[in-house]
Amino acid sequence: MSAAAPDLSRFAVNQITTRDWTLAQAVDGYARAGVAGIGAWVQYVDDAGIAAASRMIRDAGLFVPCLCTTAWVNLTDPVVYRAALDENRRRLDMAAELGARTLVVVPGGLAAGERDLASARARVADALGELLPHARSAGIALGLEPLHPMYAADRSCLSTFAHCLSLCETLGEGTGIVADVYHSWWDPDFVSGLERAGPDRILTFHLCDWLVPTRDLYQDRGMVGDGIIDIAGYRAVLDRIGYDGPFEIEIFSKLDWWLRDGHETTRIAVERCAPFVGARARAKAA
């Protein structure tokens, strides 16, 4: 008797994982592999055109857990800042047209010449507050993603799970968490943060692995199973808190997976992720 097909109904491939595929190639490749969803990126959608992108994703029957990412808003020049807010409103509209649930927030690190991290974080909070009315009207959540502290200076000053959760609680409706094991596995408050967030505030959950040694701090994420992250343990936590949302594999890998054929990467991603992305284990009735 053949083995049952894996349950991939909650599983998406974030398309940066197959960086060199166009959106059309990614949609076709993921659908052929039995993947249910695609984590879209703005530049690929722009290349295809929003109408064509929405149509091809819809026709393939794929869901879109998120659109990556916001334009940076941690800016001190008022003209450039207003332009960044306008661009993010455009991206919120793009997410809505794609049928995405969230726009992933990557706000930038320190402004040029800046050393005041607290001020940078305060500016990000203000910018998100300005974007919230548009996000709410578009029906798109601002997905705050805690990034590893190594990115704090130049990519995102949102570094810890606790900080992002507190910001969500302050901002209120229309915000949530994008949890990524690569960025948060080290955080002693990661598990308690997942518990504090609860199933409704976790918008999507990103899978990959942390390699030892890591050869490039920005673009050397491991395929699930090749590193030291306890993915099964985090999946158990998610089951315990009742998380029923999507899982995405998201790999930046200039030294390995980006050098491979996209079909090979997708096939192996499905094989490695299948044990962790199926239906939630339900508690037995007393």
Residue 89 included in any domain: yes
Does residue 283 form part of some domain? no
Q: Is residue 46, in this structure, part of any structural domain at all?
A: yes
- Whether residue 222 lies inside any domain: the answer is yes
In a domain, 281, yes or no: no
User: What per-residue confidence (pLDDT) applies to 258?
Assistant: 98
pTM confidence score: 0.95
The candidate with the shortest Cα–Cα distance to 269, out of 208, 180, 204, is: 208
pLDDT band at 3 (very low <50, low <70, confident <90, very high): low
Residue 284 lies in a domain: no
Structure tokens belonging to residue 150: 């190594």
Residue 176: closest CA among 105, 71, 95? 105
Report if residue 2 sits inside a domain: no
Q: Is pLDDT above 50 for 219? A: yes
Q: Give which of 69, 56, 65, 71 is closest to 26, Cα–Cα.
A: 56
Domain with 83 in it = 11-276
Q: With respect to residue 189, please indicate whether it lies within any of the assigned structural domains.
A: yes
Please name the residue ranges forming H helices in 14-160.
23-32, 42-48, 50-59, 78-98, 117-138
**Cα 186 vs. chain centroid, distance in angstroms?**
18
Band (5; pLDDT cuts 50, 70, 90): confident
What pLDDT band is residue 282 in, cutting at 50, 70 and 90?
A: low
CATH classification at residue 176? 3.20.20.150
The rounded mean pLDDT for the chain is 96
- The CA distance from 29 to 243, in Å, is 27
d(CA 19, CA 194): 29
The number of domains in the chain is: 1
Q: What are phi and psi of 194, to 5 degrees?
A: -60, -40
Condensed to tens digits (0 to 9), the pLDDT of residues 132-179 reads 999 999 999 999 999 999 999 999 999 999 999 999 999 999 999 999
Query: Is pLDDT of 283 > 60?
Result: no
Predicted confidence band at 2 (pLDDT cuts at 50, 70, 90)?
Answer: low
pLDDT digits (tens, 9 = 90+) for 169-215: 999 999 999 999 999 999 999 999 999 999 999 999 999 999 999 99
At 285, the pLDDT band (50, 70, 90 cuts) reads very low
